[in-house]
Structure 1
Amino acid sequence: MKKILMLATIFILSIGALAACSSGGDGEDKNITVGAKNFTEQFILAKMAILKLEDNGYSVEEKSNLGSSALRQALENKQVDLTWDYTGTGLVTYMGEDPIADKQEAYDTVKELDMERNDIYWTNLSEVNNAYTIVMTQEKADELAIESIGDLAEYVNNNPDELRFGTDAEFANRDDGLPGVEETYGFEFGDANISEMNYGLQYEALNNEEVDVAMGFATDSRIREYELVNLEDTESFFPSYNAAIAMTNETYENHPEVEEILKPIAEQLDSETMRELNYQVDVEERSVDDVAQTYLEENGLLDGE
């Protein structure tokens, strides 16, 4: 009889141990919902987080292809537990604050404000900065010896009405777009030298030599596709749009280990790497799953490494 009771006790303890292994720190199941917006970079970042979490014993549901506002609402309503978002979007769009160019200051500010106002916890700041940028073809930039926006300003001032600028309507009129760039750097494109077009077409226009300079986003795969160069923002004008993890505070409190699980991804990614990964999906037409998993495996971020 004692032997039976001992075996029963061991069995019960074993079941308890297994339950503990499959639960979060507070005893809840290790279930997490990861959200993503509706563009390639977001799909890749979300898939990396999902694969990394699954590799650490989590059961993950994905809610992707959401508009920025819809995803944010889902996060605030706890329909999504965590997502990758951008510090500039958090500050300007969600918090209604002025943009901040400094990466760390932008992150610290949105981290503090979003927790105070919405109980959203930001962590895992990365070097991926999907900010506005000014781009040229490498060939044209080399020909004119232009490496920075300051160099561009000097060239335009010395050669007015020579260079043509491609932009979408929003960037052409935003304070943190072309008007702000011109004011900050002390130059101005003539109205006749500005060509407005739908976003994306400016890359093709550059490649076809229909314009000489254009606006873009720093991690866009077409910068890689058309061998364009981002001009250095020497005055740090453009606001920071660095990618970081935003999660509900409830998720953080229930699963604090998630911060450490996803930390290696944030530490290794940068804008150049992200642009290359976007290129692999957009241009080489590899699947998001394949690109994300290959990157994690090649960088030792899966299988407990």
Structure 2
Amino acid sequence: MFDADFWARVPYQLSFLPDRLGGHIFLAFTSILAGVLISIPLGIFCARRPKAERVVVTIANIIQTIPGMALLAIMVFALNRTGVLPAWIALVLYSILPILRNTIAGMKTVDPGCIEAANGIGLNKWQRLRIVELPLASPTIIAGIRTASAWVVGAATLAYPVGATSLGDYIFAGLQTTNPVALLVGCVFSAGLALLLDMLLGGLERASQRRSKAWALGSIGGMVAVALSPLLLKAVQPHPTITPTDHLAEASEFTQEKPYVIGGKPFTEQYILIEHLQDALQEANRQTDVKAGLGSTVVLQSLQRGEIDCYVDYSGTLWANEMQRSDNVSSAEMLIDIATNLKESSGVLALGPLGFSNDYVFAMRKEQAEQLGIKSLEDLATHSGNLTAACEIEFWSRPEWKNVQSEYGLQFGNTKSMDATLMYGALQRGDADVIVGYRTDGRLASDEIVELTDPRFVLPPYDAVLLVSPRLAKDRAATERLRKMVNTISTEQMRNSNGMVDIKKKSVVEAANSLDASTK
């Protein structure tokens, strides 16, 4: 694993570190600070009021039991937006319980004799709190902040699916593209940040115990240094410059207010297409940013709200999810109706199909399919009760699955949800008998896997469609450059590019460069 090629790919991953570490530190530090500002006053209030304590701590406990991804999803739907804000609010909520509990515990453990002495010398309740109670309770309170920081730094990696930049970008992208380098970088730096922050807060805890200003200043200084470290990394990182060529004179004269944000979904093909789009926009001398790993519904809503500016979606997904259509029409008619609907409803411009179709495909091990005589979904229906099916969790809740299930009468004995990267291994090991993959997935080309036909054409076509926001649509030069990508990528070309990453273990950039070369 740790061969020369592995280490050669590390510098490329580190090139993303300033932005991803900066996003992670911003989310963690500001959410912990907000948690402190909420929890300590609330803990002081509840420490002398048992009824209020029971209610508040119960609510905090309930919030803490909600899984991280579920809480993020709740925030996205509650705020009707993606990005930093829903992730930040979720992290603030996660930080409250340990700080709140320790504040209450710290206030309750203050020696009553100290309080009597404070009253005896004439201190009012606010003076007593500031001079006596809080200093005595501070070691316990800071211990709660240490616990909260460990939770928040770890949970911040989950911000990736809602479009907030963090070290989770490394981990999710590494998992989706089977890239151990990205996984390692993400894990090392997220764990290192958690340990470093815990150590610095530990120093602050010791400062409160020893009443040491030197320890306190050293710990605070260390935290400031950590907070500023992404800026230092950004400053020393070389920045490539884009030199406009003569034929892009019109593009170079355009004043771009802010970078165009390229969105994408969480699988290999989308990461490659993001790089492909980024190269095209940079050829037009446009600055770009990336929000990858967004769900099907979230990514379209982000485009409609102007949070991203372009991405590649699939006609079948838009037909079923956005337009709530289940009727079977031709690919051309579907594309026309989709383009019309998006333009009229939100101003989103569909530039056209890229040329390949990434349909859903039911597949089995060839040996097992031949033994059972299964060649189509009709054949599969007669055996489905004894088989285990696996696919990404999204498919089981999509209308396409409901239509297939209703039309063919599929009732699997067991269904599993797993990442697309893992389900091919599950199929080979026999942990799954049927998988639902994508037509352009390079792993489907294996001689050991057979695709099952859809004789009733229940599954709609999934032509890749390039969508742009109203803001980007007004940029003629950039839009025309993107339009040149229409009908340039065949299904075979896309499958080969995906196979470079998923099978040959090449980087996403190498696959995107290969795709660029094959389409010019």
Instruction: Mark yes or no: TM-score above 0.5.
Output: yes
CA contact (8 A) 1:163 1:213 kept: no
User: SS at the partner of 2:515?
Assistant: helix
User: SS at the partner of 2:467?
Assistant: strand
2:511 to 291, 298, 302: 291
Aligned counterparts of 2:248 and 2:423: Cα–Cα separation in 1: 52
The aligned counterpart of 1:5 is none
The aligned counterpart of 2:254 is 28
The aligned counterpart of 1:41 is 269
Q: Following TM superposition, by how much is the alpha carbon of 1:199 offset from its aligned partner in structure 2, in angstroms? A: 2.3
Aligned counterparts of 1:198 and 1:225: Cα–Cα separation in 2: 22
CA contact (8 A) 1:203 1:226 kept: no
Unaligned runs of 5+ in 1: 1-17
TM-score (norm 1): 0.72
The aligned counterpart of 1:181 is 404
Aligned counterparts of 1:162 and 1:72: Cα–Cα separation in 2: 36
Task: Indicate yes or no: 2:416 matched with 1:197.
Answer: yes
Q: How does 1:1-305 map to 2 (within 5 A)?
A: 21-24=248-251, 28-29=254-255, 32-55=260-283, 57-68=284-295, 69-93=297-321, 95-99=322-326, 101=328, 102-143=330-371, 146-153=374-381, 156=382, 164-168=387-391, 171=395, 175-177=399-401, 180-185=403-408, 187-189=409-411, 194-200=413-419, 202-224=423-445, 227-255=448-476, 258-259=479-480, 261-263=481-483, 265-297=485-517, 299=518, 301=520
Aligned counterparts of 1:128 and 1:148: Cα–Cα separation in 2: 23
Alpha-carbon deviations, 1:13-32, whole Å to 9, x = none? xxxxx99953349x633774
Alpha-carbon deviations, 1:75-99, whole Å to 9, x = none? 2343432221222333443x35224
Q: Following TM superposition, by how much is the alpha carbon of 1:264 offset from its aligned partner in structure 2, in angstroms? A: 5.2
The aligned counterpart of 1:15 is none
Aligned counterparts of 1:282 and 1:98: Cα–Cα separation in 2: 33
Query: Given residue 61 of structure 1, which amino acid in structure 2 is its aligned partner?
Result: T
Change (3 A) 1:175 1:287: closer
Q: Following TM superposition, by how much is the alpha carbon of 1:107 offset from its aligned partner in structure 2, in angstroms? A: 1.8
Q: Following TM superposition, by how much is the alpha carbon of 1:202 offset from its aligned partner in structure 2, in angstroms? A: 4.4
- Structure number, greater radius of gyration: 2
CA contact (8 A) 1:174 1:180 kept: no
Change (3 A) 1:213 1:33: closer
Change (3 A) 1:60 1:236: farther
CA contact (8 A) 1:33 1:81 kept: yes
User: SS at the partner of 2:362?
Assistant: strand
Q: Following TM superposition, by how much is the alpha carbon of 1:292 offset from its aligned partner in structure 2, in angstroms? A: 0.7
Aligned counterparts of 2:384 and 2:463: Cα–Cα separation in 1: 34
Change (3 A) 1:198 1:263: same
Aligned counterparts of 1:39 and 1:242: Cα–Cα separation in 2: 16
Q: Would you tell me which structure has more strand in proportion to its own residues?
A: 1
Aligned counterparts of 1:133 and 1:258: Cα–Cα separation in 2: 32
- The worse-fitting range, judged by mean Cα deviation, of 111-120 and 202-211 is 202-211
Change (3 A) 1:173 1:36: closer
User: SS at the partner of 2:510?
Assistant: helix
User: SS at the partner of 1:233?
Assistant: coil
The percentage of counterpart residues that share the same residue type is 23
Q: Following TM superposition, by how much is the alpha carbon of 1:45 offset from its aligned partner in structure 2, in angstroms? A: 0.7
Q: Following TM superposition, by how much is the alpha carbon of 1:243 offset from its aligned partner in structure 2, in angstroms? A: 1.5
Change (3 A) 1:145 1:75: same
User: SS at the partner of 2:474?
Assistant: helix
Change (3 A) 1:99 1:219: farther
CA contact (8 A) 1:137 1:226 kept: no
Unaligned runs of 5+ in 2: 1-244
Change (3 A) 1:19 1:73: farther
Q: Following TM superposition, by how much is the alpha carbon of 1:121 offset from its aligned partner in structure 2, in angstroms? A: 0.4
Change (3 A) 1:150 1:262: farther
User: SS at the partner of 1:126?
Assistant: strand
Change (3 A) 1:249 1:149: same
User: SS at the partner of 2:287?
Assistant: strand
Aligned counterparts of 1:51 and 1:161: Cα–Cα separation in 2: 45
TM-score (norm 2): 0.45
Aligned counterparts of 2:366 and 2:485: Cα–Cα separation in 1: 30
Query: Given residue 417 of structure 2, which amino acid in structure 1 is its aligned partner?
Result: N
Aligned counterparts of 1:53 and 1:111: Cα–Cα separation in 2: 22
Query: Given residue 205 of structure 1, which amino acid in structure 2 is its aligned partner?
Result: A
CA contact (8 A) 2:497 2:514 kept: no
The aligned counterpart of 1:10 is none
Structure with higher RCO (Cα < 8 A, 6+ apart): 1
Q: Would you tell me which structure has more helix in proportion to its own residues?
A: 2
Aligned counterparts of 1:71 and 1:244: Cα–Cα separation in 2: 14
